[in-house]
Amino acid sequence: MAGAERPRGGGRLLTGAAWAVIVLGLWLWGREITDVPGPAAGTGSAGSALVLGLPAPHAPLPGAAPPQRVDVGSIGVQAPVVPRGLDKDGAVDPPPYEQPGTVGWFGSGTRPGAAGAALLVGHVDTRSKPAVFYGLSATQVGEKVRVLRADGVVAEFTVEDVRVYERDRFDAAKVYGPRVPGRAELRLITCGGTYDKTAKEYTANVVVSAYLTDVVRAK
């Protein structure tokens, strides 16, 4: 929570019991599996998209330009993006606490706009104040996420699902795997639930899922 003192390590985004399945999830993600279960009805599956009036997906972008900035206008986020890897426990390593306004991109995975699921992570808070993804859980289905790439292209994604995964029930395949084979997708992830003072970790992760719906050139 904002304003609380947080020991380092409390902001790891995928932790505890989830570690046992993270490597498997990343492996599946890298292969762009085609048998990942889709979202539940009403939360962004192909059928529910028509009911909700969500736009049709845009074709994935060619090339491999990395992301430079992410904008989530509905929650007031406009943040630089930096490549990150995995920490010593196998969790996706977010930017340092000294950079609370920066978002990390899993640099060994999919690039935003390309086919597959690209992963962006950020802190929910620091030891003393809110961080870049503090408002992520308030994101709504149908809202836009824009990613500026190094090639000058802005990839616009539409949110189709917002979920909270308890740490001991984290489903790496659903979080990391693409929902629809061949589609360009995006995941925004931060900590959620409550802060466990004993474990020095949050009890859950907030995961926003979106898919590519438009492409424009940066002005």
| 97-126 tens-digit pLDDT | 889 999 999 999 999 999 999 999 999 988
Which distant-in-sequence residues (6+ apart) come within 8 Å of 143 by Cβ?
Answer: 72, 73, 74, 158, 159
Torsion on CA atoms 110, 112, 118, 120, rounded to nearest 10: 130
pLDDT above 70 as % of the chain: 74
Each residue's pLDDT tens digit, 123-152: 998 888 899 999 999 999 999 999 999 999
pLDDT at 24: 39
Average pLDDT, stretch 73-96? Answer: 88
pLDDT above 90 for 172: no
What confidence tier does 13 reach under pLDDT thresholds 50, 70, 90? low
User: What's the whole-number mean pLDDT along residues 14-28?
Assistant: 39
Q: Which CATH architecture has domain 16-217?
A: Beta Barrel (2.40)
Q: What is the 3-state secondary structure (H, E, C) of the chain?
A: CCCCCCCCCCCCCCCHHHHHHHHHHHHHHHCCCCCCCCCCCCCCCHHHHHHHCCCCCCCCCCCCCCEEEEEEHHHCEEEEEEEECECCCCCECCCCCCCCCCEEEECCCCCCCCCEEEEEECCCECCCCECCCCCHHHCCCCCEEEEEECCCEEEEEEEEEEEEEEHHHCCHHHHHCCCCCCCEEEEEEEEEEEEECCCCEEEEEEEEEEEEEEEEECC
Of the listed ranges 18-32, 69-83, 103-117, the least confidently predicted one is 18-32
> pLDDT-derived band of residue 59, with 50, 70 and 90 as boundaries?
very high
pLDDT, position 52? 66
**In the chain, % of residues over pLDDT 90:** 51
- Checking if the pLDDT of 215 tops 90, the result is yes
Domain chopping of the chain, boundaries:
16-217
Determine the pLDDT at residue 212.
Answer: 97
Question: How much is the pTM?
Answer: 0.78
pLDDT above 90 for 14 = no
